[in-house]
Structures are given as structure tokens and as C-alpha cells.
Amino acid sequence: MAFDFDLFVIGGGSGGVRAARIAAGHGARVALAEEYRLGGTCVIRGCVPKKLMVFASEFPTAVADARAYGWDARIGAFDWPAFRAAMDAELTRLEGIYRSNLDKAGVTIHESRATLTDPHTVALADGRQVSAKHILIATGGRPFVPEEWAGMGCMTSNEVFKTGALPERLLIVGGGYIASEFACIFNGLGVKVTQFYRGAQILRGFDEEARGHIASQMQADGVDLQLGTEIRDMERDGSGYRVTATTGHDGHFDAVLFATGRRPNTDGLGLQDLGLSLAENGAIPVDDFSQSAIPSIYAVGDVTDRVNLTPVAIREGHSFADTVFGATPRTVDHSLIASAVFTRPEMGTIGLSEEDARAREKIDVYCAAFRPMHSLFAGRNDRVMMKLVVSQSSDRVLGCHIVGDHAGELIQLAGVAITMGATKADFDRTMAVHPTMAEELVTMRTPTRSS
């Protein structure tokens, strides 16, 4: 059978674009459909604009520090519309790069919603149908709002970047990294932030000690963090939302942001009509080569709900293209992935938490918490945490957790060593760089605790 294309990619985010470009580089005839904007969640409504907001939120502290260091520094009011316009311009620039790279690779771009009518046919929103030997689903995920509060005009991470003005009082619902990051961002921008989380501690799934460290600092910095708390009732009034909490922590807020999880974007794609069984949350089950139960259909990125991080989606897309079109079978190792949480303080992490490691084997834990030179001199009480989780039997470093300024940058370098299988002895014989925060990673000699 003759197909219009060798590969049709549905979704123009990081994973889909990488797969399209690499497949085209291997000589495949490739088309890609994106119904909104090229760049996907990360570039348009996720990592990139969020990180720009993180940068913006840090300037009040930086100016205060500058005064402590002798500068006659002052900061005025934050101009959200001006910042938002500049941020939008930057996202447009990045989207243009994505488009240019696809064009250079020879990928045919369809600015349209696409669905499947059979294992080799894609239907575009304008009525056209296109056939392909292989179809890759890379549609990412979407924010989830509990049904009882849907339709009330509350924000999610999709809308937060487009808000017309900063609220004076903001309620954030959720305790994951998105909720906690935005709590710190808006707090830094001068918004009075309250955060509700139904669990006992924010950032579930991360190292317990690191979670507690971050939560304590967030509260010290002014975030009204209410744990074990949910919305009992919420109603609109003329100037915002009146919220009743399960713990009696009631309040009136100008805006409410839900960051209560994400769901894979598979609704309406036609996959189930083709007989493909999806996970309970809508994720597409795939094998190690990103192939679904229908041989011609593959999926990468958040839509598979494996590890929902942009670099993972990119690696999965690249590996898919090399496997199917480059005659070089590749799989992605999801077992050891460094990541960063851009709260204040920031966290970088790779490997096992202390709790997960202890459940597997006997471990030694090396941990240091201290006031770093920069903020100590400025009179702030910020504390940095450096932590290594080490196997007693092999001496291998099973996990590294850093909480403090630039933790994301630090964990990338630590991740190289840990991915290579570094032992505690390898860390110990590495010469310290002084004076730095990171030197603590190679100067901790005595376990804080063993189990």
C-alpha cells in the first residue's frame, strides 16, 4: 500500500517535534499536525514562561541583598503587563525557531486538529484525510480541575500566563511541583498567596527531608501554606471567590489557581474506536520502544504518563525515530533521571529518596544543612541542604538531593557522576571547590544516620 507519508506526528511539542526532525533526517517523509501552537506545553504554557516568571520573582530579594552588600538599590512596583508582553514576544520567538527547524528538515506542517480514523489514516479538522505508514501520538497532557469546581472560571497552569492583572490575594490548590512553584513565584511578585493541600506535606514523591526543608522556607518567606486542607465550598462574588475550607481556614480571594494534577491528552483522538485500550487516566500504554498495542501507532511524552518531563519526551521522540527510521533500535532508561523543582528554595534531585532507598537495602545518609555565605552576609535565614543516599553494600550513591539557590544547575553535574555509577569514595576523593555551596557534596565524611 502506498502511503502519503512515512510518519505522521500528532502534536507539536518537544517530543513530537524532535521525532519529526530526526525521522526526516533519516530520509522519512514526515508530516506533523498541531492544533494550537508549536512548542507544546513546555515552550508555550509550561517550563519556559514559568522559568521567566521565576526569574522575575527573584528580583525583590536580589535588590534587598544588594542593599546589604552596600549598594544604594531600590525597587519599584512590578509592571505585570510589560513583563507579560515581553514574555509573549519571547514565546513567539521560540515558536518561530520550532517552525523553522521543522521547515528546514522538510516536515510538512498542518496547523489543525488531527484524529485517527484507522491505524494508518489521520483526519484533519478541515476534512482532509492523510495516510501514513507510522503514526506517532505526542499530544502531551492537560491540567485537571476537580469536577465540582470546573466551570467557575478558576485558573490552571494553562491560563495563568495570560491573566490580565496580578491578583492581590491568590489561592493555589494543590501540593505538587506546579502548585508549589507558582506559590513561590506569586509570593515573590508581591501577591498574598495561600496554598491548600490535602496531604500532610507538599511535593509528594520527593525526598521527605527535602520536602520539609522547602515547606518551612516557603512559610518563612510568607506563603500561607495550609496542609491537610481542602475546599469545602466555593462561590463567586463580585470581586472574586469566597472559599470555605475543611479546616476552617476560610477566605476571600481575587483568583483561584488549580494545580491538582494533569491528564494525558487523548480525548477525542479516536484511539479507543480503533480498539486501543487506554489506562484509567487516558494514558497510552506503550512498550520500551514507545510502540502501542496497534503496531503502526506509537506514543511519546506525557501522553504515555511514564516520566512527564520535557527532556524525557525529547529523548523518547529521538529514540523512536532512530529505532523506526534509523535502523538503530534505542530505548530510554527511565530509572535514573535528574530533575529540578523551581520553588524558593529551589530543589535538584536524582535517584532514590532516603525513604525509597531504605525500603530496598541498608543505606548510609550524609546530610548537611547550613546558611550559605551569600544570604548569611545579607542577613537572611535561608538554609541550604545537601544530601547523599549511599548503599552500604556497594558504596554507590543511590540518590542526591540539593535544596538551595541554583540547585537545578548543580544537580545536572551531580547527575553525570551518579549516572556513571559514582560511589561515595569517588565523591570523597574529589577535591572541593572553595568557597562554594557545592563543596559540601564532597566534604561530608560521617553519615548523619544509617539504616
Active-site annotation holder among 26, 213, 318, 434? 434
CB 340 within 8 A of CB 348: yes
What average pLDDT score do residues 238-250 get? Answer: 94
Domains of the chain, start order: 5-141+263-325 (3.50.50.60), 147-260 (3.50.50.60), 345-450 (3.30.390.30)
Residue 238 pLDDT greater than 90, yes or no:
no
For CA atoms 371, 374, 378, 380, give the dihedral sign. Answer: negative
Q: Do 156 and 143 contact (CB within 8 A), yes or no? A: yes
Average pLDDT rounded to a whole number, residues 434-451: 96
For residue range 346-367, list pLDDT tens digits in order.
Answer: 999 999 999 999 999 999 999 9
pLDDT at 1: 73
Q: Which residue has the cell 535544596?
A: 403
Give the DSSP H or E segment for 99.
helix 80-105
pLDDT digits (tens, 9 = 90+) for 22-49: 999 999 999 999 999 999 999 999 999 9
Q: How far, in whole angstroms, is CA 38 from its chain's centroid?
A: 18
∠ CA 389-352-40 to the nearest 5 degrees?
135
pTM tops 0.85, yes or no: yes
3-state helix, strand, coil in the chain (%, to 5): 35, 25, 40
The answer to whether the bond into 345 is cis (omega within 30° of 0) is yes
By DSSP bridging, strand 255-258 and strand 169-173 are parallel
Give the model confidence (pLDDT) of 294-321 as tens digits.
Answer: 999 999 999 999 999 999 999 999 999 9
Condensed to tens digits (0 to 9), the pLDDT of residues 141-171 reads 999 999 999 989 999 999 999 999 999 999 9
- Confidence at residue 44, expressed as pLDDT on a 0 to 100 scale: 94
26 is catalytic: no
Could you give the CA distance from residue 54 to residue 346 in angstroms, rounded to a whole number? 10
What are the pLDDT digits (tens) for 96-121?
999 999 999 999 999 999 999 999 99
What percentage of the chain has pLDDT greater than the value 70? 100
